[in-house]
A and B are shown apart, each in its own frame.
Chain A
Amino acid sequence: MPMAWRLWAAPAVHPGPRFLFVFLRGGYDALSALVPYGEPFYYEARPNIALARPDPANLEAAVPLDHRWALHPSVSDALKPFWDAKQLAFVPFTGTGFVSRSHFQAQDWVELGQAPEARPASGSGFLNRLLTELNGARGSATGVSFTPTLPPSFHGPVPVANWPLSGSRRGKINPGLEELILAMYDEHALEDLVRDGLGLRREISLQLQQEMQEASRAALPAGSFALESARMGRLLCDHPEYLLGFVDVGGWDTHAGQGAARGALSSRLRDLAEGLQALARELGSEWQRTLVVVMSEFGRTFRENGSRGTDHGHGTTLWVLGGGIQGGAIRGEQGGLGSGDLHQDRDLPVLNEYRDVLAGLLAQHYGLGSEALARVFPASSPRNLGML
């Protein structure tokens, strides 16, 4: 019997810290979000798609964070306040321990979070293993995935509910039918999933109904990540037992015409940044103990390709946000970005293995010991990058 649904009626049991993983599927172009404006080679390698050097007179110029890095102008309105409040940090030169330029392999790799030499095709995901560890100490912790299917990161022994928040459907199942369905699945291997699915579905249906009645919330464009995030924030507020959350955002595979200050990528980045802003707003005081990590399966080529886009690369930039973090800084190992510094003469090198970075963050966020960490991220070397 999953604990979550027994607690449904009386939550507020679980004042634990929360972790939300935002996965950008498709390999987002990290160099367009966190712009290395201090590197002349960046402008050489990207004659058509580089963001202009910081210039207060130019609205399309990158917005500086320090002497080397700047923000894309489309995200700065939403994200710069977090940076200034030290609630946002970036870890460039991050990535996986092995090179795959396949989206699908690299995504599975990130989500399963096994040791580099394992290269597993299946197995449990790191978020599910983390739940197992948290449950050891706290009992009723669970996770939630805001996706139509359960992502590999949540595959594993702990049942996790999922339901996408991007749509606007509000269906109904009559209680009589629901009771008979539960009777059919009584003691069946799927019973927990059935209960979780029906419960979460009912909850979200109620929330969408409320949303319709409150005009102010219709201000966010339908289908946007900002709308989805606002819903996530409200749902998480109502349900403290959801310690771990997952959501994914697509549309990052910019092989052609990705644009610079304006264009397709710019719009995706803006929506992402506004979503994170909406999430923090809705979480209110909960934001203080929330940790958000944004990452993608890999980065893109340092040079632009023949069609003003970028191809699959290696190193990427991880975003860390939260009300209680030590942000306002670029963290982790930093490398050069001259033409001689690139990995295989094409990509950002990986100097910070993402499992080490996440393990370090989660160690502090949840007070996990080294044995627990080794079960979540086998054979990792947790690194404290001073963000918590």
Chain B
Amino acid sequence: MIKLTATPAAQAISEYRQRNAEITAIQDADQRRLAESELREARRLLVMDYSAAFFRRLISQPADGAEALVWFWFNHFNVLWQNDLVGAALPSYIDDVLRPNAEGRFRDLLLGTMTHPAMLVYLDNTRNSSGKMNENYAREILELHTLGVNGGYNQADVRETARILTGAGLRPLEPVQWAPKQVPYLVQRGEFLFDPRRHDFGRKDLLGQTIPGKGFGELEALADRLSRHPATARHLAGKLCLFLVGEEAPPALVEEAARTFRETSGDLAAVLGLIRERPNRRDAPGPKTFKEPQRWVTSALALLSGAVPVKNAQLPLGWLSALGQGLFGCRTPDGYSLRGGDWLSAGQLAQRFELAPQIVNTLPRLAETAMPPEQIRASPAVGALEATLGPKSRQALTRAKGDAGRLALLISSPEFMYW
């Protein structure tokens, strides 16, 4: 039985790589397969434990709180844990890169992901080297992480970005005898290595500017250039407003957020401060945004559990998967859609109706202090929500079977599907 170390988070990456290398050397095919499945299981357990802790933190805070922003950044810089060492690297990716910078500078966030094994493995940059190019990561940096799909770059820019990224990968497990002239160019942080032997040191022309070949400094120059680009400001401001304010965010707010992003060269605290300062759109009349699955589940838990902390995260994590938005479950690098309307479908609604009674019925087992339905029903939060319902929903509630049935109906109501 293998166990990957949970703290310090980065240690699991080294352990995974080491164990993986040992497994590759096992001669007997059956033994090798057994060892491989053990390692995969250890990776799964690490991610499950981490996910549960993450989810508990997420629901202990407001919907636009600090951990929700960490979720936002993970979704923005999405990686897939089932992919090789990415699962072992996931806690470090979040704890060492995303959380510390979630309200810091966008440039640091970007450079942090560019030098983390989770991202480099997920988007194949460990295979990108001078003369043997792989442009997968380069394209997604421009399209998804910074400029956005209509951000004004072309295929040549993708190519040049890929050239800059050559050599950014993992340290070789075997000791390397570095030539003296290579030593000044080496940059190593944990399992990350900038390998000058694999880097293309030629000059790069990116987005109309020249980046001279100088090694790792090119990655820093790339992060600087992209985080100061107006298209990045627009792209990121739009996504943050969508996440924090919803689909009906006023265009003027998005515009102002983009300007702040641009003028501060991506100071996230300033941008977030601006967005959060605005009066709450949800108190105003007018169109609302359909809740994406995670928002529906977390808002239901917040409503039903009151201030009582939820101790068991396994069931809610299962609900998220059933609704198509499993935590850390998006397989493609674009992350989940933040547009509520993209989640609105017949299947989604039916699935929520199916889950609603389960959520209500399992709540007494989830919360740290048992909460009987009649007590939840009498809570001020439930009362406040019921007061906002339209006549048809209110009428239906009076016909519900018992308090549990009434609560299930409440979180199935059309009013509760929107925020």
Contact = CB atoms under 8 A, between A and B. Distances in A.
Contacts of A344: 155
A159 B345 CA distance: 9
Interface in B9-54: none
B214 to A, nearest CB: 23
Nearest to A99: B155
Interface in B316-357: 322, 324, 331-332, 334, 342-351, 353-354, 357
A110 to B, nearest CB: 15
Nearest to B128: A306
Interface string A300-341: 000001110101100000000000000000000000000000
Interface string B383-413: 0000000001101100111000100110011
Given A184-B396, A201-B350, A256-B124, A104 B409 contact: no
Contact of B401 (A176, A185, A311): A176
Contacts of B354: 171-173, 201
B347 A163 contact: yes
B124 A159 contact: no
B134 interface: yes
B347 A149 contact: yes
Interface string B108-144: 0000000000000000100111011111100100010
A174 B408 CA distance: 12
A149 B395 contact: no
B131 A190 contact: no
A104 B417 contact: no
B221 interface: no
A368 interface: no
Interface string A166-177: 000101111011
A169 B399 CA distance: 29
Interface in A156-205: 159-164, 169, 171-174, 176-178, 180-181, 183-188, 190, 193-194, 196-198, 200-201
A177 B331 contact: no
Contacts of B412: 181, 184
Nearest to B334: A104
Interface in A131-176: 145, 147-150, 159-164, 169, 171-174, 176
Contact of A183 (B331, B345, B392): B392
B134 A309 contact: yes
Contacts of B348: 148-149, 162, 197
B372 interface: no
Given A197-B347, A307-B127, A177 B139 contact: no
B347 A148 contact: yes
B212 interface: no
B414 interface: yes
Contacts of B2: none
The residue in B129, B136, B400, B401 that gathers the most chain A C-beta atoms within 10 A of its C-beta is B136
Contacts of A185: 392, 414
Contacts of B370: none
Contacts of A161: 346-347
B345 A193 contact: yes
| Secondary structure of the B contact surface, majority rule | helix
B149 A104 contact: yes
Interface size class of A (residues with CB under 8 A): 35 or more
Nearest to B333: A103
Contact of A102 (B124, B139, B409): B139
A102 to B, nearest CB: 5
Contacts of A198: 350, 353
Given A161-B347, A180-B399, A184-B393, A103 B131 contact: no
A112 to B, nearest CB: 13
| Secondary structure of the A contact surface, majority rule | loop
Nearest to A311: B135
A193 B346 contact: yes
Nearest to B395: A183
Interface size class of B (residues with CB under 8 A): 35 or more
Nearest to A307: B127
Interface in A84-123: 100-105
Given A184-B392, A184-B412, A255 B401 contact: no
B82 to A, nearest CB: 12
Contacts of B136: 255, 311
Contacts of B395: 183
A250 interface: yes
B349 A193 contact: yes
Nearest to B399: A180
Contacts of A173: 350, 353-354, 357
Contacts of A201: 347, 350-351, 354
Interface string B93-118: 00000000000000000000000000
The residue in A172, A178, A188 that gathers the most chain B C-beta atoms within 10 A of its C-beta is A188
Contact of A149 (B127, B342, B353, B392): B342
Given A180-B400, A190-B417, A306-B128, A200 B134 contact: no
B353 A178 contact: yes
A102 B347 contact: no
A169 B319 CA distance: 12
B263 to A, nearest CB: 26
A251 to B, nearest CB: 8
A293 B135 CA distance: 30
Contact of B134 (A163, A176, A193, A306): A306
B399 A306 contact: no
Contacts of A188: 392, 414
Contact of A150 (B139, B155, B158, B344): B344
Nearest to A183: B396
B324 A197 contact: no
Contacts of A309: 124, 134
Given A103-B332, A307-B127, A150 B414 contact: no
Nearest to A205: B354
B158 to A, nearest CB: 8
B347 A180 contact: no
A352 B128 CA distance: 33
Contacts of A197: 345-351, 353
A190 B135 CA distance: 43
The residue in A159, A193, A255, A306 that gathers the most chain B C-beta atoms within 10 A of its C-beta is A306
B346 A150 contact: yes
Given A190-B344, A256-B124, A306-B128, 9 more contacts: A25-B332, A148-B347, A163-B346, A163-B347, A180-B399, A194-B346, A197-B351, A201-B347, A306-B134
Interface of B: 124, 127-129, 131-136, 139, 143, 149, 155, 158, 322, 324, 331-332, 334, 342-351, 353-354, 357, 392-393, 395-396, 399-401, 405, 408-409, 412-414, 417
14 contacts: A101-B155, A104-B149, A150-B347, A172-B354, A173-B350, A183-B396, A183-B399, A185-B392, A190-B344, A193-B346, A196-B346, A197-B347, A311-B135, A312-B139
3 nearest A-B pairs in the assembled complex, by CB-CB distance:
A306-B132, A197-B346, A197-B350
Interface of A: 25-26, 100-105, 145, 147-150, 159-164, 169, 171-174, 176-178, 180-181, 183-188, 190, 193-194, 196-198, 200-201, 250, 255-256, 305-307, 309, 311-312, 344
